[in-house]
Amino acid sequence: MNFKNIDYKSIKYLYDLCKKSKENNIDLLRYLYNNNYLNFEENLNLCKQIGIIIEKNTKIFCVNENKDFNHLIIQKLIKNKYSLGTLKSFMSKFTLENGDYIYRISNQDKIVFMWERFFLNDLGLTSLKNNILVFNNDYSNLLPNKKLSIKYLKKIIQEKEKLGAIAEQFVIDYESKKLLDFPLLPKNCIKQVSNTFANAGYDIESFDKESATKNIFKKIFIEVKCVNNDYLFYWSKNEINKAEELRKNYFLYLVPSNFNDIDLKIIQDPFINILNNKYWLCETEQLKIRSNNIE
């Protein structure tokens, strides 16, 4: 795919038009789009290819996911990264140096990949520092054939552990504020179990606020995940089994890495509301394999 006639603003405008439309007639949407932007077909084709717009007969429909547009399009790019032509070629130029993925771009490549650069910059995926393009590490899984040094991998693990600990304290503070109005609850009723029971399948024990208003103190079990803008997280088999066992008493707290209450997502019964929800993409990254033919 050639990105010469594709740009972020055009895609967002087309997506918003489609989202607001009641009839979704492609000719009407083309007319409205062409009043403000160029290259309708090229931008529509990209939207279809990455899966944010679907065309059926003479109508087009947007994938109406409850996500910020930036997060939605980045998630779709990650899913479809191997079919994006020149964009994939451009991203393959980034290499790992001192913990960052960078591209010391030549003057010739500035021209060759001009449109790809503009597109990724508008998405917030790249930035230019001292004539060096730097890729946003939060989305490094977009990069094809990326390499990780042992040193950098250890650094990532350490940073994730640190962020995880901060996220758990964030949730403890959040729960403490939530339960302030219930003096009948015992002191230190919120327990962080992850430090002493690492395979419990959850991190924190607390109480349900709604039942507490009736002086019925129902315990809830919270698994904490520190997430970036795309809300990507990893969920272990042990945690999933515990979620299936506890169902509505089990909660996922997706804590944003900026530790802002507004962006916190709380999901009750994630066994149903994540695993059986079309708005969450679940992928298998590892398989546990053993021989059944050992004598």
Q: Tell me what pLDDT residue 98 has.
A: 78
Mapping DSSP onto H, E and C, the string for 6-71 reads CCHHHHHHHHHHHHHCCCCEHHHHHHHHHCCCCCHHHHHHHHHHHCCEEEECCEEEECCCCCCHHH
115 sits in which H/E element = helix 114-123
Q: Tell me what pLDDT residue 29 has.
A: 95
Task: Give the mean pLDDT of the chain.
Answer: 87
**Where residue 147 falls among pLDDT bands split at 50, 70, 90?**
low
Question: What is d(CA 283, CA 192) in angstroms, rounded to the nearest whole number?
Answer: 29
Res 3 pLDDT > 90? no
Phi, psi of 92 (to 5 degrees): -70, -10
Q: What's the average model confidence in pLDDT over 93-121?
A: 88
| Maximal CA-CA distance, the chain | 73
**Where residue 145 falls among pLDDT bands split at 50, 70, 90?**
low
Closest CA to 115 of 144, 89, 96: 89
pLDDT tens profile 257-295: 889 888 899 999 999 999 998 889 888 877 878 888 766
Residues 120, 126, 130: CA angle, nearest 5 degrees: 135
Res 150 pLDDT > 80? no
3-17, 34-48, 142-156, 211-225, range with the lowest pLDDT:
142-156
Question: What is d(CA 287, CA 174) in angstroms, rounded to the nearest whole number?
Answer: 36
Percent of the chain clearing pLDDT 90 (strictly above) = 43
Contact 142, 120 (CB under 8 A): no
DSSP letter, residue 231: -
**Where residue 247 falls among pLDDT bands split at 50, 70, 90?**
very high
Reduced to 3 states (helix: H, G, I; strand: E, B; else coil), residue 75 is helix
Q: Tell me what pLDDT residue 171 has.
A: 96
For 74, how many CA atoms within 13 A lie in the half-sphere containing its CB? 24
Q: Which two tokens stand for residue 200?
A: 């419990």
